[in-house]
Amino acid sequence: MSSVPYLTHKGIFFPAVASYTEEYLRYVENEFQLMDDDVVNVTYPKSGTNWMAEILSLIRKDGDPTWVRNVFLWDRVPWFETATSQSTILNYTPPRFMSSHLPFQLFPKSFLRSKAKVIYTVRNPKDVLVSFFHFSNSFKILKDPGNMQDFMDTFLRGDVIYGSWFDHVKGWLAMKDMPNFFLITYEELQQDLRGSVERICRFLGKELTSQQIDSVVENASFETMKNNKMSNFTQVPNDMMDHSKGKLMRKGKSGTWKSCLTVAQNEHFDRVYQENMRGVTVTFPWD
């Protein structure tokens, strides 16, 4: 295992790089003011964050792909818990579209006093595990995952950046009946991207024509995003990502865990899942 250090803030790991500081995380939680017309793309890592960011960027521009083809994804839908995004966010012409991986307890408290909208995308945690494992091999600010068994143990303990998948999902599900909270799964996006885009538009109060929706769907497809250098992470600097070891746009499918986990690993995962999700009333596509 490599010795890449992590920052620990309130029991949660974050990458130990300049963009994450305890001071800024405290500021985000306690002082950052969400505005009523803000839209926040919230996910646990590897759950389709960048896909949703692309969809939202295209919806914002009524399906016109010019913006997504010319501006980096992280500038279109900036990360609000990183100090390095602060100026982008402060200079953003409203409505601001932002992304966050923060667990609910560290999310800006101002959310509860605002009408800001949160779109929370959840993904089958077994696919999250596999995606996270591969990404950890290439993203240099993440600890070396070891082998799949090592990483599964680490993941199920929640000893990864942004903490436990179970805690993250359960924390955010507490918001599920709020009118400004929209829950969607990666699997729904996969099964019916057009229908999902229509639902997202309704939630945002955005009326797009049928042709504009077609354009969102086409430009947010795996193939198109994979070839868009503004979105596919190929422009992430080499000191942060070893491009020879992996890519963001890896498989883009549901269920790839089936060829990665042994029967015993899958059974163990299921047991931990059942224990942790006891009492959760939402049924997910993978349940």
- Positions touching ligand A3P (CB under 6 A) are 43, 45-51, 127, 131, 134, 220-222, 225, 248-252, 256
Shortest distance (Å) from residue 218 CB to ligand A3P: 11
Is 134 tagged catalytic? no
Residue 135 one-letter amino acid: F
Q: How many CB atoms are closer than 10 A to CB 8?
A: 11
Q: Which is nearer to ligand A3P, 12 or 161 (CB)?
A: 161
The whole-angstrom separation of Cα 167 and Cα 159 is: 12
Kindly give the pairing relationship between strand 39-43 and strand 6-9.
unpaired
Output 106 or 225, the one with its CB closest to ligand A3P: 225
Smallest distance, ligand A3P to C-beta of residue 21, A = 22
φ/ψ (deg, to 5) at 158: 80, 20
Sheet of 97-100, strands arranged across: 97-100, 39-43, 117-122, 181-185
Nearest Cα residue to 208 out of 81, 66, 75, 61: 61
Of 101, 134, 243, 268, the active-site residue reads: 101
Bridge partners of 130, per DSSP, are none
Q: Taking the complex as a whole, how short is the minimal distance between the CB of residue 234 and ligand A3P, in angstroms?
A: 13
Q: What is the DSSP letter of 149?
A: H
Closest CB 51 distance from ligand A3P, rounded Å: 4
Catalytic residue positions? Answer: 101
